[in-house]
C-alpha cells in the first residue's frame, strides 16, 4: 500500500498558504485510504496553478493544455478502463475556456473524478477576473468591478446529469479528503468543486470569507430539483456531497468487451481482413 | 465494341440520384470492369442539382473521366450543367410526355441522340411507379449489351428485403429498358468489352482509410461529424465494437483530438478524423501531441475553404495548415495517399510512424478521394507490418528500476522508451510544458535546447514505403507534372494525353510523403527539369513547399484550380500548354 512519501512527485511551486496544497494532500490521502498504488492512478490536469498537481502528486500524470483536461482524461479512461482517472484544473480552466467539456462530461458519465480548484481568480496570469469571480469583483481587467455574474459550477453539473456532485473547502482537509475519497469510489462522473483561496491575488474570497459563510449539507440528495434548490438557497456556499445517483457509467452502457491494448507488433489479422473485405466485393 | 463507358445520372438531391448511380456502378463492378466514380452534391438535404458520374473500362482506370456517353436526366438542369461534357454520339435519356428519338447537336457542336420517354407512365404500367430509374438502367445496359443475368441477380440482392414482387417488378422494368433500346436505339448500341473476372474491391477513400486503420490495430476514434470525413467515423463505429474498440462522437473538434490523445497515452492505437475547419480547431492539441510525444493519427479530408467555404466541394488547400499549423515547433509527419489503395496502406503506415516517432501523423485526404468509390485490386495484408515502436511491456519497464520513470529519457535517436500508465514500476509524467527527462516542468536553457533537438530530430529519416510515385516518360528534358492526393488518376491521363499529342513530353510525379519531404530523392528526380505542380488551391501551396526545399525558382510553375470541382484531363492539358507557350 502506498504511503504519503510514495505519492510525492516534483517539488510544488505554489505560493505559501495556497489552498492547492491542501487539495493535493486531500487527493494523496484519498488515494492512500482507498489502497491504490501510484501506478493504478492517472491524474490529468489542465493549465494554471492547479494544472501542476499532475506533476506534484506521484501517480501517472499528464499535464495537458488549457481547458482540455476533461477530454484528455475521458480518453485516457477509454484507452485503459482499468485506470483510476482523476482530472483536475482551476476555475478558469474548467469553467471558462473548458466549460463546454464540463457540461458534456457531466451528461456522458464516464467513470472518473473531476476536481476543480476554485479560487475565483486567474492566479498564474497574475490576477485577472475569472468566470467564478463575483459581480463587482475588482481585478486588473475589471477595474470598475466585474459586470458579469459567476458561473454556478455545482448547479451546472447537477443540471446536466452528473451522477456525483460535491463541494469542499481547502480550509477543511478532513471533510475534503472524505469527499474526494467518495468521489473516486463513485462509479460514474464525479464532480468536486473545492474552494481554494488564492492568498496572493484574491483578497476577498479568503479562508475567513469561506469559514464564515459555508454551510455543510448533511447527506446527498437523490433528487436533482432538491439539490438545485438547496444550492440556490445557500447561494452555492455549501459543502459536502450534494447529489448522488447510482447509474451505469458510459463504458458499461456501451456494452463492449473492451480490448484496447492488445495490438502488438507483427502481421495484420488476416481472418479479420477476410471478413471485412466481403463488404466491398 | 467499346473499351470504356462514361455514364452519368443527374437530378435534384433526394430523387435517388445517388442510389441509382451506386446501383449501376456496383453492377458494372460485378461484370469485372474497372470502375471510377465521382459524386457532385450540395450542402443541403433535399433539392439542388446533384449528379453521379461513372467511368468503367476493361483495363484499370483511376479517374471518372471528362466526358459522358450516356446521360440520364432526372431533372431539366442535368442537361444544361453537363452539356459541355457530352461525348460525340452520346445518348441523353430524359423523362417526357411522349416517346421521341431525336438527333441533336450541343451548343459546342457535338452530335448526340436524345431519347425522351414517359418513364413514370411505363413504370406504372409495369406495376411499380418507383422503378422508373430501373428502366433507365435497362436502357444503359441495352446500349452496352450487358448480359442480363448479373443485373437480375443484383436486383434480387438489393431488393431482397422488399419481397418477391418488388424484385420482379424491378426486373421487368430493367428488361423493358433493354427492349426499348432494341426497338428505338438500335443504331446507338455499341457493346462494352468485358474483362475476365478478377478479385477487386469497390470502395471509397474514407472506407479504405477506416479499413486500413482497423487492420493496423486502431481501437479508438473520437471525432465530430464533418463533411467529407464523417464516413470514416460512421464506418468504424460499425466495426470497432466487434474488436473491443469504440468510436465516440464527442462534443466538438477539440474534444475529438483530445480524447484520442488521451486514449493513445493510455495505450490504444487512437485516431481522429476531420476536415479543414476541424483541423483549425485541433491545432493547439496537435501541438500537445507533438510536445508531450503522444502518438496520434489525424485524418484530414480537405474540402473547399477558407472558413465554412465550400463544405461539399473538393479542394487541396490545407497543405500549409497541415505542415505548419500550431504555435511553436513540433515533430510531425504528413502523408497524402494518391489512390484508394494507397489510402488503405498509408492509414496503416501512419499508425506505425506515429508510434515509432511518438508524434502526430496527419493523413491528408481530399473530398475527391474521400467520398468517391473506385475499384481497386484486393489489398495485401502482408505489405504493412504493425510496429509499435519503443512501446515497453510491463517487464521491460520494470527492468529500468526507476521510482519515477524517465518518460523523456535522452537517447541517441531522440525517441524515448514509452511505458503505459497502469504498468507497475513505470509511474511517469507526460507534459505539454517544456520538461526535463522526468517530465517535470523545466525552463532551464540547456535542457530546453536539448529537448527541442530531441523532439524535432525524431522524424529525420521517417519514411513510408512509397513516398513518391513516379512515371517517367523516358525522354530527356521533359516536363514534370507534380501532384498530390486524388489528382493522381487525372494527372496520369493528362500526361498520357500530352505525350500522345506529342508537342510536349511529360512525366508524372505524385508525392505521398509531404512532410518530412524526401528532399534527396526529389532532387534526384527534379534536378534541372521544368516542373509544373497541378493542385486544387489558389496559392500553389505544393509549389511553395517544393521551392522551400529546393532551388527550383526559375524552373517551376503551378497549374491551379479552386472552383470546387476536381480537374478534368482537358483542363490540365490546356493549362499546361498555355503555361509552356507563354514561357517559351
- All domains of chain B, ordered by start, with CATH? 4-188 (3.40.920.10), 202-377 (3.40.50.970), 468-583 (3.40.50.920)
Name residue, grid cell 509524467. B429
Write phi, then psi, for A253 (nearest 5 degrees).
-65, -30
Nearest-by-CA chain A residue for B251: A104
Angle, helices B148-158 vs B164-184, to 10°: value is 150
Task: For chain A, list residues with pLDDT below 50.
Answer: none
Decide: A7 and A25 in contact? Cβ < 8 Å.
no
With an 8 Å Cβ cutoff, is B259 touching chain A? yes
Determine whether the interchain pair B262/A73 forms a contact, defined as Cβ–Cβ distance below 8 Å: yes
Contacts of B246 in chain A (CB under 8 A): 78, 254, 256, 258
Pair A52, A13: CB distance under 8 Å? yes
Select the residue from B247, B258, B375, B385 to test the A interface by mutation, using most A Cβ atoms within 10 A. Answer: B258
Locus of grid cell 463546454: A100
Cα B125 from Cα B170, distance rounded (Å) = 12
- Set of chain A residues whose Cβ sits within 8 Å of the Cβ of B22: none
Burial class (CB in 10 A: 0-12, 13-18, 19+), A237: middle
Q: How far apart are the CA of A22 and the nearest CA of chain B, in angstroms?
A: 21
Please enumerate in sequence order all residues whose Cβ is within 8 A of that of B54, keeping only pairs 6 or more positions apart, or say none.
Answer: B5, B6, B7, B8, B21, B24, B25, B28, B35, B36, B37, B64
Report chain B residues whose CB lies below 8 A from the CB of A101: 251, 255
The residue of chain A with its CA nearest to that of B356 is: A265
Q: Let me know: does B232 contact B367? Beta carbons within 8 Å.
A: no
Contact B430 A61 (CB under 8 A): yes
ipTM of the prediction? 0.98
* pLDDT computed for residue B263 by the predictor: 98
CATH number for the segment(s) A19-254:
3.40.50.970
Q: Is B217 on the interface with A (CB under 8 A)?
A: yes
Q: Are B426 and B398 in contact (CB under 8 A)?
A: yes
Q: What is the three-class DSSP state of B502? A: coil
Q: Does B239 touch chain A (CB under 8 A)?
A: yes
The phi and psi torsions of A113 (rounded to 5 degrees) equal -120, 135
Give the chain A residue whose CA is nearest to the CA of B379: A277
| Pair B315, B365: CB distance under 8 Å | no
CB nearest A63 (choices: B254, B385, B433): B433
State whether residue B402 sits within 8 Å of chain A by CB: no
In chain B, residues with a C-beta closer than 8 Å to the C-beta of A44 are 262
* 584 residues of chain B, pLDDT tens digit each: 999 999 999 999 888 899 999 999 999 999 999 999 999 988 777 778 899 999 999 999 999 999 999 999 999 999 999 999 999 999 999 999 999 999 999 999 999 999 999 999 999 999 999 899 999 999 999 999 999 988 899 899 989 999 999 999 999 999 999 999 999 999 999 999 999 878 899 999 999 999 999 999 999 999 999 999 999 999 999 999 999 999 999 999 999 999 999 999 999 999 999 999 999 999 999 999 999 999 999 999 999 999 999 999 999 999 999 999 999 999 999 999 999 999 999 999 999 999 999 999 999 999 999 999 999 999 999 999 999 999 999 999 999 999 999 999 999 999 999 999 999 999 999 999 999 999 999 999 999 999 999 999 999 999 999 999 999 999 988 999 999 999 999 999 999 999 999 999 999 999 999 999 999 999 999 988 999 999 999 999 999 999 999 999 889 999 999 999 999 999 999 999 999 876 65
For residues B458 and B331, the answer to whether their CB atoms sit within 8 Å is yes
Residues of chain A in contact with residue B260, where contact means CB-CB under 8 angstroms, are 75
Is there a contact between A60 and B429 if contact means CB atoms under 8 Å apart? yes
Helix then strand count (H, E) for chain B reads 19, 22
Contact B262 A277 (CB under 8 A): no
Phi then psi dihedrals of residue B131, to 5 deg:
-90, 20
CA of B341 vs chain A CAs: smallest distance (Å): 13
DSSP category for residue B53: E
* Total Cβ atoms within 10 A of residue A185: 14
| Residue in B379, B337, B274 with CA at minimum distance from that of residue B487 | B337
Identity of the residue in B239, B378, B429 whose CB atom sits nearest the CB atom of A61:
B429
Give the closest of A54, A55, A79 to B263, CB-based. A79
Question: Would you call B428 and A100 a contact, using CB atoms and an 8 Å cutoff?
Answer: no
Of A261, A267, A272, the CB nearest to B243: A272
Q: Chain B partners of A52 at a C-beta cutoff of 8 Å?
A: 441
Say if the Cβ atoms of A83 and B433 lie within 8 Å.
no
How close A164 gets to chain B, by Cα (Å)?
21
Closest to A86 (Cα-Cα) out of A20, A132, A40:
A40
| Interchain CB distance below 8 Å, A80 and B387 | no
Give me the total of CB pairs closer than 8 Å, taking one residue from chain A and one from chain B. 220
- Please state, in angstroms and rounded to a whole number, the distance separating the CA atoms of residues B372 and A118: 51
The pLDDT score that the predictor gives to residue B199 is 86
Q: How many helices (H) and strands (E) does chain A have?
A: 11, 10
How close B31 comes to chain A (CA, Å)? Answer: 12
Burial of B199 (0-12, 13-18, 19+ CB in 10 A): exposed
Cell numbers standing for residue A57: 502528486
A204 Cβ neighbours under 8 A, 6+ residues apart: A120, A134, A137
Q: How far is CA B376 from CA A165, B60, B342, in A?
A: 54, 8, 10
Question: In terms of DSSP bridges, do strands B68-73 and B86-95 run parallel, antiparallel, or are they unpaired?
Answer: parallel
**What does the alpha-carbon distance between residue B561 and residue B177 come to, in Å, rounded to a whole number?**
39
Q: How far is CA A136 from the centre of its chain?
A: 27
* CB distance B339 to B489 below 8 Å: yes
Closest-CA residue to B202 (of B445, B375, B412): B375
Tell me how close the Cα of B301 comes to any Cα of chain A, in angstroms.
21
- Residue A146 three-state SS: coil
Amino acid at each position: 500500500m502506498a504511503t504519503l512519501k510514495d505519492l510525492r512527485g516534483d517539488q510544488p511551486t505554489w505560493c505559501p498558504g495556497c489552498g492547492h496544497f491542501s487539495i493535493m494532500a486531500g487527493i494523496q490521502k484519498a488515494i492512500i485510504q482507498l489502497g491504490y498504488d501510484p501506478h493504478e492512478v492517472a491524474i490529468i490536469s489542465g493549465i494554471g496553478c492547479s494544472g501542476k498537481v499532475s506533476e506534484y502528486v506521484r501517480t501517472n500524470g499528464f499535464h495537458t493544455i488549457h481547458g482540455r483536461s476533461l477530454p484528455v482524461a475521458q480518453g485516457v479512461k477509454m484507452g485503459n478502463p482499468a485506470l483510476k482517472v482523476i482530472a483536475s484544473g482551476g476555475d478558469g480552466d474548467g469553467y471558462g475556456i473548458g466549460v463546454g467539456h464540463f457540461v458534456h462530461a457531466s451528461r456522458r458519465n464516464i467513470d472518473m473524478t473531476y476536481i476543480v480548484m476554485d479560487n475565483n481568480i486567474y492566479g498564474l496570469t497574475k490576477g485577472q477576473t475569472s468566470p467564478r469571480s463575483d459581480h463587482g469583483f475588482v481585478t486588473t481587467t475589471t477595474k470598475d468591478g466585474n459586470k458579469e455574474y459567476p458561473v454556478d459550477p455545482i448547479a451546472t453539473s447537477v443540471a446536466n446529469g452528473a451522477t456525483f456532485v460535491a463541494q469542499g473547502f481547502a480550509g477543511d482537509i478532513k471533510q475534503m479528503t472524505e469527499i474526494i475519497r467518495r468521489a473516486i469510489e463513485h462509479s460514474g462522473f464525479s464532480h468536486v468543486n473545492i474552494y481554494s483561496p488564492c492568498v496572493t491575488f484574491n483578497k476577498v474570497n479568503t479562508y475567513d470569507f469561506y469559514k464564515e459563510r459555508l454551510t455543510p449539507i448533511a447527506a446527498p440528495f437523490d433528487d436533482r430539483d432538491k439539490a438545485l434548490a438547496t444550492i440556490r438557497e445557500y447561494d452555492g456556499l455549501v459543502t459536502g456531497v450534494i447529489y448522488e445517483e447510482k447509474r451505469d457509467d458510459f463504458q458499461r452502457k456501451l456494452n463492449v468487451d473492451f480490448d484496447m491494448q492488445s495490438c502488438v507488433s507483427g502481421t495484420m489479422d488476416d481472418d479479420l481482413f477476410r471478413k471485412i473485405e466481403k463488404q466491398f466485393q | 465494341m467499346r473499351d470504356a463507358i462514361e455514364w452519368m445520372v443527374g437530378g435534384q438531391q433526394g430523387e435517388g440520384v445517388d442510389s441509382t448511380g451506386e446501383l449501376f456502378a456496383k453492377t458494372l463492378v460485378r461484370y469485372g470492369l474497372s470502375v471510377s466514380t465521382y459524386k457532385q452534391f450540395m450542402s443541403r438535404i433535399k433539392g439542388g442539382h446533384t449528379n453521379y458520374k461513372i467511368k468503367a473500362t476493361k483495363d484499370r482506370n483511376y479517374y471518372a473521366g471528362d466526358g459522358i456517353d450516356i446521360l440520364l436526366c432526372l431533372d431539366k438542369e442535368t442537361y444544361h450543367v453537363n452539356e459541355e461534357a457530352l461525348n460525340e454520339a452520346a445518348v441523353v435519356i430524359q423523362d417526357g410526355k411522349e416517346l421521341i428519338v431525336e438527333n441533336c447537336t450541343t451548343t459546342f457542336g457535338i452530335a448526340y441522340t436524345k431519347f425522351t420517354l414517359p418513364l413514370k407512365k411505363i413504370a406504372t404500367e409495369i406495376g411499380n411507379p418507383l422503378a422508373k430509374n430501373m428502366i433507365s438502367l435497362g436502357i444503359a445496359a441495352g446500349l452496352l449489351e450487358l448480359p442480363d443475368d448479373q443485373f437480375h441477380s443484383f436486383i434480387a440482392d438489393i431488393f431482397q428485403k422488399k419481397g418477391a414482387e418488388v424484385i420482379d417488378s424491378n426486373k421487368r422494368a430493367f428488361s423493358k429498358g433493354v427492349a426499348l433500346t432494341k426497338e428505338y436505339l438500335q443504331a446507338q448500341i455499341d457493346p462494352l468489352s468485358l474483362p475476365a473476372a478478377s478479385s477487386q474491391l469497390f470502395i471509397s477513400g474514407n472506407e479504405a482509410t477506416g479499413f486500413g486503420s482497423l487492420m493496423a490495430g486502431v481501437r479508438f476514434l473520437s471525432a465530430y461529424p464533418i463533411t467529407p470525413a464523417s464516413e470514416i467515423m460512421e464506418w468504424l463505429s460499425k466495426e470497432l465494437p466487434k474488436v473491443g474498440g469504440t468510436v465516440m462522437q464527442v462534443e466538438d473538434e477539440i474534444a475529438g483530438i483530445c480524447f484520442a490523445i488521451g486514449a493513445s497515452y493510455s495505450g490504444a492505437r487512437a485516431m481522429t478524423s476531420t476536415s479543414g475547419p476541424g483541423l483549425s480547431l485541433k491545432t493547439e492539441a496537435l501541438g500537445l501531441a507533438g510536445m508531450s510525444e503522444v502518438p496520434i493519427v489525424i485524418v484530414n479530408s480537405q474540402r473547399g475553404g477558407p472558413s465554412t467555404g465550400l463544405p461539399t466541394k473538393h479542394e487541396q488547400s490545407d497543405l500549409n495548415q497541415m505542415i505548419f499549423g500550431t504555435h511553436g515547433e513540433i515533430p510531425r509527419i504528413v502523408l497524402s495517399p494518391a489512390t484508394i489503395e494507397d489510402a488503405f496502406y498509408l492509414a496503416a503506415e501512419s499508425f506505425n510512424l506515429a508510434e515509432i516517432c511518438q508524434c502526430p501523423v496527419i493523413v491528408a485526404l481530399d473530398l475527391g478521394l474521400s467520398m468517391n468509390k473506385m475499384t481497386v485490386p484486393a489489398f495485401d495484408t502482408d505489405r504493412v507490418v504493425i510496429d509499435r515502436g519503443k512501446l515497453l511491456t510491463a517487464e521491460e519497464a520494470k527492468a529500468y528500476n526507476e521510482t519515477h520513470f524517465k518518460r523523456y529519457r535522452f537517447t541517441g535517436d531522440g525517441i524515448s522508451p514509452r511505458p503505459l500508465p497502469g504498468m507497475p514500476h513505470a509511474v511517469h509524467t507526460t507534459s505539454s510544458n517544456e520538461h526535463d527527462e522526468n517530465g517535470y516542468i523545466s525552463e532551464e536553457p540547456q535542457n530546453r535546447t536539448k529537448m527541442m533537438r530531441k523532439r524535432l530530430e525524431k522524424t529525420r529519416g521517417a519514411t513510408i514505403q512509397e513516398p513518391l510515385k513516379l512515371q517517367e516518360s523516358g525522354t530527356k528534358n521533359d516536363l514534370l507534372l507534380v501532384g498530390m492526393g486524388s489528382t493522381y488518376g487525372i494527372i496520369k491521363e493528362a500526361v498520357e494525353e500530352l505525350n500522345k499529342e506529342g508537342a510536349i513530353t511529360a512525366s508524372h510525379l505524385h508525392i505521398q510523403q509531404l512532410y518530412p519531404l524526401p528532399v534527396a530523392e526529389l532532387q534526384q528526380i527534379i534536378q534541372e527539369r521544368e516542373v509544373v505542380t497541378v493542385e486544387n488551391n489558389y496559392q500553389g501551396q505544393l509549389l511553395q513547399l517544393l521551392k522551400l526545399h529546393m532551388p527550383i525558382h526559375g524552373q517551376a510553375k503551378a497549374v491551379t484550380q479552386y472552383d470546387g470541382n476536381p480537374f478534368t484531363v482537358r483542363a490540365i492539358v490546356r493549362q499546361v500548354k498555355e503555361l509552356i507557350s507563354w514561357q517559351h
